[in-house]
Structure 1
């Protein structure tokens, strides 16, 4: 019949003349009661698919039966015919209301996971440049702020156990997501909509079909995230996206295992509409973050890009035809914008490391590892976990071309910045400069060696060049800081007179240098041993040679060669008070 759907436009009551008109009047009255006060109406079925108003259902059936009988074919019954058409529209509209009311999907088994995710702690940070508090709290782990392993289940990091379990597709096979009673109501509704000739009305309603299984997780993004930080929101988005992708696959499988009767012909369109609607919500939410360009959010933006990339194939499998094409284009457009934001963030991270004044001046720990170096390597390690994604984003669109180029530039910029900082802070401290640079380059080498992903980015040749630089700085440090001390033992070069006076001057200079250098910090025990050995090899042989040339000083000498070795073994323990800041 194809009657238009809407509230029945019942006119002035007309006394029925035939039995058919009398039947229509009774059915109209029942539908009219619903039309006048739909808010107070409990419906034909409740959410659990139990009957609550059989009389209203009977009125719907009566109207549809009258329409099938066509009792008003003559022109003089045109008024009754118009009333019947209006009643058919009202009956179809009633069925749509029932469709939007019935509970087809069961989310009761997911309530715990939804609650836990909404309350999930977001204390762990993946900021590429952590705050001072985060840096201090992670010092024991080499500055790595987040311990996630970068595996394909990227959203599983730092989420509750109940939520992480849902990221396993096999778990969904054991969850009953469907309400069989609700499916039986879908059959009843579809049967009557088809009889009314109003299938298009039901198709349009699918876009608003309730789905507690999906909507319970989406509600976390709509409500809970309103008071959260950007990091927390993006982390939850990636988790919710993965969960919804897996839930949709399970829902499709479970609905197809049912016998929906008359709803069978609507099933595909129903699932497609549910999928499209929820995917659009996810995409719109993700699109809202594409304007973020702060390099601090780089790792989170990579996580969003990867989550969308990973989820897209399974999400698109739930769609077909024009829907699939539109969602695919929408997804690619958002990925393109995310990639552009990532490239801007990468450049910002490099500029941050290379900048002269972007980090506050902090104590250098007398040659220790600068916070800038720690932050730079934390950044490198976090980015290395996303190598495949970054190589894809950077290829052909960035002058560096790959993550390897980015990391190489970043570390080179770090080294230049550290040299500039020390030159400004202490232009004349040659030995301090070499010790500081040896410390920082050695720290970089150590962090690279401890991370296979970073090591593979930079390669053996890069590491060999840095080791050579460390060796040069060690040798230069020994020459700058201890060469003048050893030079005091060369009496012939200076013509300084009595050997006893020379020895006394040496002892005084040695003690001053030892007291100063003992307080300098070298955190790496390997580098500390190399430095002590380099100093010892410079000082001890020269001291022994001097005593051999002056045998009369043997018994009066304050130190033996072994004493010097022991004293030099106490160098570089830290706790400097020299006040140098960079």
Structure 2
């Protein structure tokens, strides 16, 4: 690299590259100096410039003037400044002085040396150039700051040395030197050579940094062919890498570029754009490729993480790439965010559509939890954990569902201004699921009690999933209260339909007792009705223990006392019947035991070996 830039056969700049000078007006300060003074400046610059001529000796070529003797480095820069001023004067005066030719030769020697120094410092300290060592100066402040004399630099370093490490000292010196050299070369009309070196070295640093972050050249065709496991690994890596790339790599490069190339806004913008554009465009294009892939529920959460990362980093992206020439980078980041939002919305729309179009018509055996309920609620609860980013997405990409009203999702999530877009939409998805479950209960309408039990089971499952997840905070107490009331109504409807025949088999309360034959018939009807209900409902299933116990207790509280009263009143009346064991199968205690068998999902037969024994003091008891 060094040979390429600094071979003796190629000077860093020709005479023609020297900037053209316009004649100053007589009022210009430059005309206050005499021609002899300008020629004196040329002569004064000659010793320091020729001393550090790259072609004068192998020694001067091997060492760095800024690393070897900082005082002479400052003298060299000052000599170039004086030389340029002198040349400017001589050209403006159309002076035929032979000193102008000498000045041009010295300027080429000086620029070759400064170009060499600039390259060496950039290369040697590429890993030590720390933007934080700019001593807290903003880009604007550093842009307007003047070069300091060597003594001032040394004093500054002494003060800085009290609080920063040796490595930071080196970084600060390197950045200060780069800034001074760049300003000198640009102001002398040799900005092209300076820019060429800066772009080449710093772009390689940025590209290497992205490579170390495992950011490769992404191609849509290759990404579309990857299996999800590999792609998910790449997404995880990108999520980590993009934060470092934006907050450290690109941000640091912007500060460094603003500091070193503060002499020219145009040059600074051109360099930063060239250095970062390729890597940044590739980095921010990756989420768009993911968004354009095949849509599936399992991918939505990674896509939301990508969307969230871009959202969180956007203020810094906008600040870093604030030039017109880097607007394409910002547009790419926005495009990726837009495509992710569209993709997430599409996945949610397809999820809602799959609920509506689910074709399984037979409910689960025993009225248990439908697989659709389990899978849908698992997905919706997981969405609830990402409610904040979902709300941002819904704000930018309104869901494509029907009008959501207070009636169908609960006023607490639809009518209050504090309700987030995520809570409204997730409540809507649950409403769609409940509507579908109501239709799925239709095949068991032949046994209406099983239909109500199916609805109660599934609604209870939904309520419990909401209660034990972040959805509870999103929906609020009003939603919970509304659906708990609906659950109690389902349970009451089930109880009424399932046990009406059993209740109606017992005689109504009356002041006069019924005849023995009527009592026998009541016992007969009660046991037949109970056995029928028992046989069905032991095969029915209530998976939730709390709901199962609540249903059993509710039935027992109504049925057992009524049966006990009837039993105690009429058992002695039918005690002499020779078919008593068939007629009266169990007593009140036995009834409670049988009720405990309900909703376990297995058939349990009534015992046929129950027998009665009589005691003159205790009457008849079941054993």
TM-score, structure 1 length as denominator? 0.61
Q: Does the CA contact (< 8 Å) of 2:368 and 2:457 recur in 1?
A: yes
User: Are residues 1:466 and 2:483 paired?
Assistant: yes
SS at match of 1:403: helix
Mapped to 2, the partners of 1:306 and 1:300 lie a distance apart of 10
Aligned to 1:560: 587
Question: Matches of 2:276 and 2:262 in 1, distance apart?
Answer: 17
Residue 433 of structure 2: aligned partner: 414
Deviation at 1:279, TM superposition (A): 3.8
C-alpha contact (below 8 Å) 1:521/1:572 kept by paired residues: yes
- Give 1:288 deviation, angstroms: 1.8
Match of 1:405 in 2: 424
Inter-partner Cα distance in structure 2 for 1:85 and 1:29: 14
Matches within 5 A, 1:482-501: 482-489=499-506, 499-500=519-520
Aligned to 2:385: 385
Contact in 1 for aligned 2:567/2:588 (Cα 8 Å) = no
Asked whether the equivalents of residues 217 and 282 of structure 2 are also in contact (C-alpha less than 8 Å), the reply is no
Q: Which residue of 1 aligns with 2:560?
A: 540
The alpha carbon displacement at 1:275 in A equals 6.1
- Count of residues paired in the alignment: 458
The whole-number CA distance in structure 2 between the counterparts of 1:308 and 1:385 is: 19
Relative to 1, partners in 2 of residues 1:486 and 1:376: Cα closer, same or farther, differing over 3 Å? same
Please report how far the alpha carbon of residue 310 of structure 1 lies from its aligned counterpart in structure 2 after TM superposition: 0.5
Q: Distance in 1 between matches of 2:532 and 2:372?
A: 31
Cα deviation, 1:74-133, whole Å, max 9, x if unaligned, reads: 99xx9xx99x989988995996598468642599xxxxxxxxxxxxxxxxxxxxxxxxxx
Q: Aligned equivalents of 2:548 and 2:199: distance in 1? A: 74
SS in 1 for 2:367: coil
Give the equivalent residue in structure 2 for 1:441. Answer: 459
User: Structure 2: how far apart are the matches of 1:308 and 1:519?
Assistant: 53
Could you report, residue by residue, the CA deviation over 1:139-164 in whole angstroms, capped at 9, with x for unpaired residues? xxxxxxxxxxxxxxxxxxxxxxxxxx
Counterpart mapping for 1:369-380 below 5 A: 369-380=369-380
Residues 445 and 466, structure 1, Cα contact 8 Å, conserved in 2: yes
2:128–2:170: 8 Å Cα contact kept in structure 1? no
User: Unmatched 5+ residue regions in structure 2?
Assistant: 11-49, 69-76, 88-95, 131-162, 405-420, 510-514, 605-623
Distance verdict in 2 for CA 1:285–1:447, change over 3 Å: same
String of CA shifts for 1:331-363, please: whole Å, max 9, x gaps. 333322222222212211211222223x7x898
Q: What residue is the counterpart of 1:283 in the other structure?
A: 284
* Distance in structure 2 (CA, Å) of the matches to 1:10 and 1:253: 35
Which aligned pairs between 1:335-374 and structure 2 lie closer than 5 A? 335-357=337-359, 364=364, 366-374=366-374
Using a 3 Å threshold, how does the CA distance of structure 1 residues 254 and 192 change in structure 2: closer, same or farther? closer
Greater gyration radius = 2
Question: Could you tell me how far apart the structure 2 residues matched to 1:229 and 1:496 are?
Answer: 80
Deviation (angstroms), 1:481: 2.5
For residue 618 of structure 2, what is the aligned residue in structure 1? none
TM norm structure 2:
0.58
Deviation at 1:438, TM superposition (A): 0.2
SS of the aligned residue for 2:591 comes to helix
Provide closer, same or farther for how the CA distance between residues 233 and 560 of structure 1 changes in structure 2, counting only shifts above 3 A.
same
Give the equivalent residue in structure 1 for 2:20. Answer: none
Sort the Cα spacing of 1:177 and 1:203 in 2 relative to 1 into closer, same or farther, 3 A: same
Note the alpha carbon deviations across 1:209-238, whole angstroms, 9 max, x for none. 415994355315669997744433333322
Q: What's the CA shift for 1:532?
A: 0.8
1:432 paired residue among 447, 450, 475: 450
Contact 2:129–2:171 at 8 Å: present in 1 too? Answer: no
Could you give the per-residue CA deviations for residues 260-318 of structure 1, whole angstroms, max 9, x where no partner exists?
9x788699949955666654333122222232443442222222111111112133343
Q: Which 5+ residue runs of structure 1 have no aligned equivalent? A: 12-22, 32-42, 52-60, 108-173, 578-582
- Cα separation, 1, equivalents of 2:493 and 2:519: 28
TM alignment of 1:272-311, pairs within 5 A: 272=272, 278-292=279-293, 293-311=295-313
Q: CA deviation at 1:441?
A: 0.5
Greater mean alpha carbon deviation, residues 303-312 or residues 234-243: 234-243
Question: Distance in 2 between the 1:266 and 1:44 partners?
Answer: 29
The answer to whether structure 1 residue 517 and structure 2 residue 537 are counterparts is yes
1:253 Cα deviation from its structure 2 partner: 11
Q: 1:371 to 1:568 in 2, by over 3 A?
A: same
Alignment of 1:228-247 (within 5 A): 228-247=229-248
Change (3 A) 1:458 1:181: closer
- Within 2, Cα distance between the matches of 1:309 and 1:507? 68
Shift of 1:417: 1.9
In the alignment, which residue of structure 2 is the partner of 1:104? 127
The residue aligned with 2:596 is 569
Is the partner of 1:289 in helix, strand or coil? helix
- Kindly indicate whether the alpha-carbon contact (under 8 Å) linking 2:126 and 2:205 is maintained by their aligned counterparts in 1: yes
CA distance in 2 between counterparts of 1:221 and 1:574 reads: 56
Give the Cα–Cα distance (whole angstroms) in 2 for the partners of residues 286 and 433 of structure 1: 46
Q: 1:439 Cα shift?
A: 0.6
Structure with the greater relative contact order (CA < 8 A, sep ≥ 6): 1 or 2? 1
Residue in 1 that maps onto 2:546:
526
Return the alpha-carbon distance in structure 2 between the equivalents of residues 209 and 179 of structure 1.
22
- Give the aligned CA root-mean-square deviation in angstroms: 5.4
User: What's the secondary structure of 1:440's corresponding residue?
Assistant: helix
